[in-house]
Amino acid sequence: MAKDEGERIGVVTALVRSAFLVNTAYAEAAHAYGLTPQQGQLLCVLMPGPTGMGELGAKLGLAKSSLTGLVDRTSRLGLVGREADPEDGRAVRVALTEEGAGLADTFYTEACRRIALLPAVLEAPDRDHLAALLSRVVLANEAPEVFTDRP
């Protein structure tokens, strides 16, 4: 049963519940393409270009062993590959394969479509205001760039 539109919930509850909504939409988009949500995040993080393992671990909030497992599993799917870092011969960067780049683009578009439906109940000025407020929260807390706007 729908709640009264005038009903208010606190900011903490609203943030936690909206995070749940976003995570659910993101996971559903990932599953639609045979990915785990973590693999979807990996593909999105790699869209701008190859990234070192250390930077990937920091962005995704994963320990080295967890990140290695994620990259290994995604590599076995043919979506990412490892390459030598041109600036440090001892280091490895992870890059999207051609297939991975195509899937990343398709997944990103679908995830955006699903997530954009969440605030669709708001008028355009309210959506813009929500984006401005959330941007301030994200930037002030230095949230990692696991998902970015396309240029």
- The contacts of residue 42 (CB under 8 Å, 6+ apart) are 56, 60, 70, 71, 74, 80, 94
Query: Could you read off the pLDDT of 6-38 as tens digits, one per residue?
Result: 688 999 999 999 999 999 999 999 999 999 999
Mean pLDDT, each 10-residue run in order, the chain (151 residues): 70 94 96 96 95 92 94 97 85 95 96 96 96 94 84 58
In a domain, 146, yes or no: no
In the prediction, which pLDDT does 90 show? 80
Whether 50 is in a domain gets the answer yes
- Within-domain flag for 16: yes
- Residue 3 in any domain: the answer is no
Residue 98: give its domain's CATH number.
1.10.10.10
Domain around 106: 11-119
Q: Quick check: is 73 in a domain? A: yes
Overall domain count for the chain: 1
Q: What is the pLDDT of residue 71?
A: 97
* Closest to 116 in 3D by CA, of 102, 130, 106: 130
Burial of 60 (0-12, 13-18, 19+ CB in 10 A): middle
Residue 1: predicted pLDDT: 41
Is residue 110 one of the residues assigned to a domain? Answer: yes
Give domain status of residue 128, yes or no: no
Q: Considering the domain boundaries, does residue 91 fall inside one?
A: yes
